[in-house]
Amino acid sequence: MMGNPSSTTTSVNGFYSILSRGLDDLDRAFAAHNFMSIQFFQRVISSLRSFHSHLNILVQKLHLPVGEKWLDEYMDESSRLWEACHVLKSGISAMENYYSAGTNIVSSLDGYYNLNPQISRQVIRAIIGCRREIVGLEEENKNLVETRIQALSLRLDENISVEPKFINGFNGFRGVLHAMKNVSSLLLMILLSGLVYCWPKSSFFHGGHDGQAGFGSGFMAATSRLRQRVAAELNRIDGQPGIFMYEFRKAKAATEELKVELERVLEYEGGGEEIQEKVESLKSWFGALRCGTESVVGQLDDFFDEIVEGRKKLLDMCTHK
């Protein structure tokens, strides 16, 4: 997405420019895709991985002193990233029972053009069971976010010192790590809000952070723009807390539409083409949900490998020095 990391990450200012361009790309991607869609989340994860890769390459070029605090600070931040991504993976993986239940509903109706009352009632009961899966999934994910994410302090840090002494500490490393921490917090919160659990009125998205002039101001402005765009869309939806992934919401709506149609068939004793249309819609959305979540899990697994490799390289670099 941003070219060969080794050819572009040549300076601290270059890293800030990479963050700015990457965030602007995400801002455009946000407008181009359905709100909280799998395609957008895949772009977010790709950007997070790319920024992490650029950071690791830059750190190796900064000629940092061995045995100093910078390594501990890097390890703390990469551990935070690792833990947050594991919460993401846990939340997404928990969705398997839901889309399996949806797939079973589709299978039970596939090919039926003349439904009898018994089959209709069986499917309606299965849909009610699917609803219970949603309630359990969202409650489980809510607890996951409350117990594990809040401790990670995913926030845009407005109060940290931006004095040159801080920003330029360890040849600019401290400023770069602070920038990465802010950007990764935003991207992780976007991912968690769509894939795991979201409170639409969350203070994270509705804060008044406009960036610090003079400190990588381009990337700070880009961070603020993306956050404000997400906040505006959350305001527009004005929904209840829960899982906001587009494909999840569409599968949920398609299930309810099928239930309404089945109840109509029971009441008026008829139906066929309309039922099949609803079944095909349900099949399509649950298929998109399954494929999309599996793809995101694959991306996260690759990112875990990259985090481990980055930590190992820096440790080896210090050891060899």
| Angle, alpha carbons 58-62-65 (nearest 5°) | 135
CA distance 213 to 220: 8
Give the contacts of 83 (CB within 8 A, at least 6 positions apart): 148, 152
Structure confidence by residue, pLDDT tens digits, 182-220 = 999 999 999 999 999 998 767 667 655 444 444 556 788
Long-range contacts of 215-218 (CB under 8 A, 24+ apart): 215/162, 215/167, 215/175, 216/16, 216/19, 216/20, 216/175, 216/179, 218/16, 218/17, 218/20
Q: Which two tokens stand for residue 31?
A: 């407008």
Percent of the chain with pLDDT over 70: 83
Mean of the per-residue pLDDT values for the chain? Answer: 85
In the chain, how many H helices and how many E strands?
11, 0
pLDDT in tens, 32-51: 999 999 999 999 999 999 99
Phi and psi angles of residue 35, each rounded to the nearest 5 degrees, phi first: -60, 125
Global confidence as pTM: 0.88
Dist CA 300 CA 86 (whole Å):
8
Q: Return d(Cα 33, Cα 125) in angstroms, integer.
A: 34
The closest alpha carbon to 164, from 210, 208, 212, belongs to 212
Q: Which one-letter DSSP state was computed for residue 198?
A: B
Say what the pLDDT of residue 196 is: 95
Q: What is the pLDDT of residues 141-187, one digit of tens each?
A: 999 998 888 788 777 665 444 566 666 667 788 889 989 999 999 99
Please, which residues bridge with residue 198 across strands? 242
Token pair belonging to 303: 């990112």
Write down how long the chain is.
321
In tens, the pLDDT along 73-121 reads: 999 999 999 999 999 999 999 999 999 999 999 888 876 656 778 888 8
Closest CA to 206 of 183, 240, 232, 171: 232
Q: DSSP characters for 135-155?
A: HHHHHHHHHHIIIIIGGG--S
- Of 293, 301, 94, 56, the residue nearest 191 (C-alpha): 293
Q: Where are the alpha helices (DSSP H) in 154-269?
A: 164-167, 173-195, 217-237, 246-268
pLDDT value of residue 207:
59
Which pLDDT belongs to residue 235? Answer: 81
